[in-house]
Amino acid sequence: MKRLRTVGVVGIGLASWFSLACGGGSSSSATTTSTSTTNGNSQTGANVAPIVINSGPAGGYADGAFANVTVCVPGTSTCQTIDGVLVDTGSTGLRLLSSALTVSLTQQNTSSGNPVVECLRFVDSYTWGPVQTADVEIAGEKASSLPIQVINGSEFSVPSGCTKSSSNSADTLETLGANGILGVGLFTQDCGAACVQTGTTNPGLYYECSSTSSCQLTGESLTQQVQNPISLFAKDNNGVIIELPAVSSPEVTLSGSLIFGIGTESNNALNGATIYTANDYGDFTATYTGVSGKAGSYTSFIDSGSNGYFFLDSAIPGIPDCADVGGFYCPATTQNITATVQGANGASDSVSFSIANADTLFNTDNGNDTVFSQLGGPAMDTFDFGLPFFFGRNVYTGMQSSAYPDGYWAY
């Protein structure tokens, strides 16, 4: 199963439009409710977790959807609820900053007794830290003995193999912009069969650390890899739905729902949504015809962990990059874009969206707004439909199964 390009959290660290606040962190006294209002309807149930779009626990975050996650020492009632965890359909697995944790979790070790540490490479950064085990609760759902990554860039030296695609670490609240990442994407594990094997074909996610300064690449069994939490739920374990209301102009904050399961409860039916299956890389395609001579089909995916529409480069759609806000587009006037998406199953749809000047967006309402439906930026030869795509839609992320070996999206 090919799924080694992790695409979540595009744009993290790029929201420099206001200063990142120091501090923030977890809340051991927060409670998770099971009611959230979206699209004018109240969604209730043990499978419903509220999500909120705001500036995040560090401040300065644009278009970030955050939820609360409760982690417990396995088999005990020693628990902690952590807020400000980014909901990410573009990656797999729970990753928490060690600085946000107050409970001591169980370290995963190799057969030699050495700690297992993971490097997960995102598009523009990486996370590094030990693999530990926790009981995880979200709303009324529970995943027991779940392998997670505890992000800690200082406990073990980062090997060169981890930094070969990016030297930007995301191991602090300031650099990650969140207390963690809740990866609820298409796949059961964050790597799969490729990481079980050893040798040159191993993509380099898991390491055995014989000391704090010596970490060597290792094979990791499927059950020990960092898992999609919903795969270990007793029910409602085949996917998620993100429901967010429509957004017509920048807003300070926005509330919505993260609903677990697809077609398993009265509140998570497909309701006529069209299914777009992924290929074995976890993608579908987007065909762009906006500029004469520059039309083509591109890798595409739907990713709540990306904080805008990230697509192509400025030369193709003719949209200039921002001069002072890296990673975003700054057109002189709002640009209207259309692309045709097509799943591996042949289902297709025309998707239209708009890109406004990021400098202007970030300075509306004295810089207090954090919700932007027209935010976007460059991404070489891809179409990344980030969080703004979710506004006004019920977007389904269906996990891999016998019926859908590589998962699907639906809306």
Per-residue pLDDT tens digits for 149-194: 999 988 999 999 898 878 899 999 999 999 999 999 999 999 999 9
Of the candidates 351, 393, 352, 386, the one whose C-alpha atom is nearest the C-alpha of residue 372 is 386
Average pLDDT over residues 3-20: 32
Separation CA 66–CA 151 (nearest Å): 18
7-21, 27-41, 149-163, 349-363, range with the lowest pLDDT: 7-21
Q: How confident is the model at residue 291 (pLDDT cuts 50, 70, 90)?
A: low
3-state helix, strand, coil in the chain (%, to 5): 5, 40, 55
Q: How confident is the model at residue 294 (pLDDT cuts 50, 70, 90)?
A: low
Instruction: Please tell me the predicted confidence (pLDDT) of residue 363.
Output: 92
**Which amino acid, residue 320?**
P
Q: Name all domains of the chain by residue range, CATH numbers in brackets.
A: 35-232 (2.40.70), 269-410 (2.40.70)
Instruction: Please tell me the predicted confidence (pLDDT) of residue 113.
Output: 97
Read off the pLDDT of residues 225-257 as tens digits, 9 standing for 90 and up: 999 999 999 999 999 999 999 999 999 999 999
Instruction: Please tell me the predicted confidence (pLDDT) of residue 20.
Output: 22
Average pLDDT over residues 272-300: 87
CA distance between the termini of the chain: 25
Instruction: Please tell me the predicted confidence (pLDDT) of residue 139.
Output: 97
199-218 burial, b if ≥16 CB within 10 A, otherwise e? Answer: eeebbbbbbbbeeeeebebb
Average pLDDT over residues 10-14: 33
Instruction: Please tell me the predicted confidence (pLDDT) of residue 110.
Output: 97
Instruction: Please tell me the predicted confidence (pLDDT) of residue 316.
Output: 87
19-28, 140-149, 214-223, 286-295, range with the lowest pLDDT: 19-28
Q: How confident is the model at residue 19 (pLDDT cuts 50, 70, 90)?
A: very low
Separation CA 55–CA 78 (nearest Å): 29
